[in-house]
Structure 1
Amino acid sequence: MVHKSTEPEHTTAPGPRFRISPSMSAQKVAVLGAGAAGLITAHTLSRDGFEVQVFTRDHSPGGQWAQERIYPGLKLNSVHGEFSFSSHAMAPPSNTSITGGRLTAQDLSKYMQEFADTLLPGRIMLDAEILNVRRDKKDASWSISIRNKRTGESETLKFDKVVLCTGGTSKPKMPDSLSPKAASEAHFMGLVIHSAHFGAQLQNILYDIPAQGDHEPKSIVVVGGGKSAQDICAYLASEGRKVTIVYERTDPFAAGSRPLPDFLRKSRLFSLISPYINLRTRLERFLHTTWIGNKLVHGMWNVIIADSVKAMGIPKDSLLHLTYSPFWQMRTNDEGVPRANSFHVLATQGKIQVVAPARVTGYGDDGRSVLLSNGETLSADLVILATGYASSWPDIFDGETAADLGLHRCHPIRPEMNGEWKNYTTLANPPASTPDTEVWSSSVYKGIVPSKNILRKDFAINGAVFSASNGYMFEVTAHWISSYFLGDKMKVPNTVEEASMHAEREAMWLRKRFPEVNLTLNEACTSFAVFFTWPQYSDELLEDMCLPSMRNGGNWLTWPFKVVDIKELATLHEERAANRRKHV
């Protein structure tokens, strides 16, 4: 039985009213975060009879796609049909025929708001900052302490179960040497912001940094080579601002002279030429454990890289070639068809100055410059730090609760687990590994449940597995979590030790699969990483629930090219219910 520790109802203006049901038969679940993972998790749990309340500190639903976080020019790596849920259709963008259905941040923000309004009315508490999450030792319930950002009032609510959906993009990470505090101490006269705050600060930036004209232009320096840095540079350059990007290497990217057909883009093809922790089919075993398969896989990746560079018209001597390998990285930005206002096009035209390979190390003595690792200085009136995000988890859980759950940031990998994938020919000759990753081991089973908590069935995570297809994978994971909470017949570990060994095996795999990536930096989005191999991971979750996998169909010849569609998941609720009735 769960009780609210203050008043029987709570309203957060201007959001909807949430009322805890007087019926105490349904278990109460707190979903922390109203991003894509949080919304689909809340909807799935609600359909399964749970009383659900969603918390978000934002003023609108959507998480990183909340209306107040986005800005013009921000584009997804997804096209229409790749980031939506089976229970609510997404309208196609107006320029689909030209862009292949490229989604903008505005498209996804609008969709998330529609999803919340249509399927979760009264279930989302906006402007609610989570102060603490802890388990009550007396009755094993969960206490969620929150603060209303509008009124400043705090309260504590109680729940039976918690799903953590805060993601890994809610807490900006800044190097100490470049922080606003460091800038102030160096008497830097310009503004220093993180890329997470670019949307909120945009109008002030455009006012303070006028477009280039007859006068001496003010300078904007963007630190970092990831997608956020590139999108911000492209937008500012398109608005006539003088902008310089500084990086050591940029994210890899894919592009083409025309949109990829669905049978290539939305099929299992890219997942098949990316090795997965378990080789599930004969074709995968051929591609990743034989000499000729290795040649074919890396040959296809080399063609993708070469075609992308050609499509973007990047000269041979361009600093834009300083990228990571798409094969060995957890992310690859999909640029699609080249656009006149895209980062690579504008940088090639000289409208974005590129300084690389270099790092910004601090602020100059003159108050109007930044220092570079190569000994040079750059004029700067505004510094935008696109330096990534830290895990949101330490701010939510105190040390005792984190230890109780087993949410330890890292611990050593057992030496005997090394070498399991030595027969993977495609993983021969890897790049140098990040030293910190050498000892990192996640404690989260499949990126969903802390191993130490596997038997309690009162806590889960959605959104901590890095993927190239969030819509499909978030929805499958939401059903997995609901089945797990309900105690359905599932293929899950029977002991904490079994779950821990499974999590450590996954950690060892990530170290081998993505050696250049420092996985210790943000466990909130890298408890496990599948990226292109999201179909295999999703299939395993479906099989855990005793449901059919590889739902896109096809025969022995066509299955790699059959489109994977979110509509395949529309009947999961009914299928799970049918299974439940069988095992009563």
Structure 2
Amino acid sequence: MEDVQTIGIIGAGVSGLVAARTCREYGYFVKVFEKDSEPGGVWASSRRYPGVTTQNTKDTYYFSDFPMPGHFPAWPSGEQVQSYLMAYAKKFDVLPDIRLSHTVTQVDFRNNKWIVKGINKRGLFEEAVDFLIVSNGTFSDPFIPEIPGLKSFVEAGGRVYHSTEFRSTEECRDKRLIVVGFSKSASDIVTAAEATARTTNIVYREAKWKIPRFIKGINMKYLILNRLGEALVKPEQHNFMERFIHKIGLAGRMLSFMENYTTRKHGLDQMGLRPTSRIQEQAFGEINLETPGFYDKIARGKIVPWKGEIASFDGKLATLTSGETIDCDMVIFATGFRQSIPFLPDRYKEQLTDSKGNYILYRHILPAGIPKFAFVGYNTSIQCPISSEFGALWVCEYLKGRVHRPSQAEIVKAGTEFIQWRSRYRQQGSASGLSTMPGTIHHVDTLLRDMDAALPFFSLIPDWLLTIKPGRYKRVRKKIVARNGQG
């Protein structure tokens, strides 16, 4: 697209920052619109709950040519991740392109340009760009379920938070607390809050597998965060190695071992917390890293688990679907997110999703029926930095005409087939079907093939047997960018 000179990017989190850096490398002028007062997305201070860390180890969660600092712990804190992202933005001179506290309220395509409108500290703003990338992420709209009587709880002095709004354990000091959910954020928050809360409860619909950080003394990254780990849980096998490990039964034996080891280590059977779903099922986005102390505090009665949902509130009394009741002063909903693009005109939203609200995208990037428009970072993944990095490269190669430009029919076909494939196994664990798990590296491989590039064989071996280290992708990234004559 030779007429594209200026690219607008909505969001300055992991995906928005790498998209901005990549577009600049390709010679485009960039305008990044970020509604928060600081970059970082989900890692920004305005959204971090106490004790949040990465689920990946630091050597598997970074951009290919910008490693995390060596002094960071194995699992960096949210504050450290944001500092890493800020250092990345400074290193590649992205900060001057970011318009902070700019909330986009409307976009429209007119006269071959996108008109971006919104609100900033000075009032209304309006900008024109030639191409638009949306990177507001799959964790953009905090979800709190509508529960009968919730208003009476608030009127009685009860306090309601989403996990992204909870800032300090001092907020729940001496309060009777309920945390709703069983995700990593739920277990992190309830474990930290127990130190100050008067009583601490966790209400959940389904128990999730929480992978121990060390399995028989071996860091979990060597069992999970590599191509072997991905191959174990992928329901379909695409290459010889994947087919082989399933044919000899290795996948089934290793998954059973991890389930049994986790169950024994934490005493899940005794506490009634062994998940009813297998690890392979929950690998579609629900499986998460253990929170140190979580199960121990349950075993000691410090945290009380309740299976079910909150059916209603009557003042400060919460009634569960089981009929049991809990007295509470504060409820924190770690209930995930709903994905929406409120600034996009309805005529485009109708083409973007199916009847169930699933996003229909080609390569998780291109929508049908929306001109000069792409997504980067719309694929929930534990390998977010590298998947977003190569997603951004794919967009730039697309603009340069060096990857196949699918027809509208091809986009719909590919997006629909992905949703149908996913629904055969597990629909939970992602916002509106936006997830490449449990095949994120397969997704990156697909993007590389589209760009006529691939990871060298000598890098594939440690990718399989050790860990997925983004640094191994540095050379192939450099090779792709060099085609543009500016890498």
Same fold, judged at TM 0.5 (above) = yes
Mapping for residues 425-464 of structure 1, pairs under 5 Å: 442-453=359-370, 456=371, 458-464=372-378
Q: CA deviation at 1:538?
A: 0.6
Tell me which residue corresponds to 2:260: 306
The one-character-per-residue Cα deviations of 1:93-142 (angstroms, maximum 9, x if unpaired) are 55x4xxxx122212212111222233213111111111012111xx1200
CA contact (8 A) 1:371 1:378 kept: yes
Tell me which residue corresponds to 1:510: 422
Tell me which residue corresponds to 1:15: none
Q: CA deviation at 1:448?
A: 0.8
CA contact (8 A) 1:26 1:49 kept: no
CA contact (8 A) 2:227 2:467 kept: yes
Amino acid at match of 2:233: S
Indicate how the Cα distance of structure 1 residues 47 and 554 shifts in structure 2: closer, same or farther if over 3 A, else same: closer
CA contact (8 A) 1:270 1:532 kept: no
The yes-or-no answer on 1:378 pairing with 2:326 is yes
Tell me which residue corresponds to 2:117: 145
The one-character-per-residue Cα deviations of 1:15-60 (angstroms, maximum 9, x if unpaired) are xxxxxxxxx9871111111110111111111111111111111121
Tell me which residue corresponds to 1:267: 226
2:459 to 547, 553, 556: 553
Tell me which residue corresponds to 1:162: 132
Indicate how the Cα distance of structure 1 residues 178 and 243 shifts in structure 2: closer, same or farther if over 3 A, else same: farther
The one-character-per-residue Cα deviations of 1:461-519 (angstroms, maximum 9, x if unpaired) are 1111122211221111111111112222x2443x211221111111111111325x286
Between 444-453 and 41-50, report the one with greater CA deviation: 444-453
Tell me which residue corresponds to 2:310: 360
Amino acid at match of 1:29: I
Tell me which residue corresponds to 1:74: 52
Tell me which residue corresponds to 2:25: 47
Tell me which residue corresponds to 2:76: 103
Amino acid at match of 1:447: H
> Secondary structure of 2:273's partner?
helix
Amino acid at match of 1:236: A
Indicate how the Cα distance of structure 1 residues 88 and 559 shifts in structure 2: closer, same or farther if over 3 A, else same: closer
> Secondary structure of 1:514's partner?
coil
- Give the Cα separation in 2 of the matches to 1:276 and 1:27: 42
Tell me which residue corresponds to 1:335: 289
> Secondary structure of 1:77's partner?
coil
- Give the Cα separation in 2 of the matches to 1:221 and 1:26: 51
Tell me which residue corresponds to 2:170: 206
- Give the Cα separation in 2 of the matches to 1:240 and 1:377: 18
CA contact (8 A) 1:267 1:561 kept: yes
CA contact (8 A) 1:167 1:392 kept: no
Indicate how the Cα distance of structure 1 residues 332 and 70 shifts in structure 2: closer, same or farther if over 3 A, else same: same
- Give the Cα separation in 2 of the matches to 1:264 and 1:551: 21
1:284 to 230, 242, 256: 242
Amino acid at match of 2:101: D
Q: CA deviation at 1:323?
A: 5.5
The one-character-per-residue Cα deviations of 1:415-464 (angstroms, maximum 9, x if unpaired) are xxxxxxxxxxxxxxxxxxxxxxxx676421121110334xx5x2111111
CA contact (8 A) 1:269 1:561 kept: yes
Tell me which residue corresponds to 1:27: 5
Q: CA deviation at 1:80?
A: 1.0
Q: Greater CA radius of gyration, 1 or 2?
A: 1
Amino acid at match of 2:102: A
- Give the Cα separation in 1 of the matches to 2:252 and 2:185: 28
The yes-or-no answer on 1:543 pairing with 2:460 is no
Tell me which residue corresponds to 2:141: 171
Amino acid at match of 1:146: G
Aligned length: 481
- Give the Cα separation in 1 of the matches to 2:150 and 2:83: 33
Tell me which residue corresponds to 2:412: 500
Tell me which residue corresponds to 1:479: 393
Indicate how the Cα distance of structure 1 residues 407 and 71 shifts in structure 2: closer, same or farther if over 3 A, else same: same
Q: CA deviation at 1:163?
A: 0.7
CA RMSD of aligned residues (A): 2.7
> Secondary structure of 1:174's partner?
coil
- Give the Cα separation in 1 of the matches to 2:226 and 2:270: 35
CA contact (8 A) 1:441 1:508 kept: no
CA contact (8 A) 1:254 1:332 kept: no
- Give the Cα separation in 2 of the matches to 1:552 and 1:276: 26
> Secondary structure of 2:421's partner?
helix
Amino acid at match of 1:206: E
Tell me which residue corresponds to 2:480: 576
2:205 to 236, 243, 248: 248
Amino acid at match of 1:549: L
- Give the Cα separation in 2 of the matches to 1:363 and 1:566: 47
Q: CA deviation at 1:281?
A: 1.3
Residue ranges of structure 2 left out of the alignment (5+ in a row): none
Tell me which residue corresponds to 1:214: none
Tell me which residue corresponds to 1:428: none
> Secondary structure of 1:355's partner?
strand
The one-character-per-residue Cα deviations of 1:171-220 (angstroms, maximum 9, x if unpaired) are 11122226864644xx4321112112112xx3xx625x434xxxxxx301
Indicate how the Cα distance of structure 1 residues 368 and 182 shifts in structure 2: closer, same or farther if over 3 A, else same: closer
The yes-or-no answer on 1:219 pairing with 2:176 is yes
Tell me which residue corresponds to 1:118: 91
CA contact (8 A) 2:60 2:468 kept: no
Q: CA deviation at 1:350?
A: 1.5
CA contact (8 A) 1:326 1:332 kept: no
Indicate how the Cα distance of structure 1 residues 140 and 111 shifts in structure 2: closer, same or farther if over 3 A, else same: same
CA contact (8 A) 1:368 1:380 kept: yes
> Secondary structure of 2:38's partner?
coil
> Secondary structure of 2:364's partner?
coil
CA contact (8 A) 1:252 1:331 kept: no
> Secondary structure of 2:417's partner?
helix
The one-character-per-residue Cα deviations of 1:68-115 (angstroms, maximum 9, x if unpaired) are 211331122111112211232211355x4xxxx122212212111222
- Give the Cα separation in 2 of the matches to 1:543 and 1:402: 30
Amino acid at match of 1:144: V
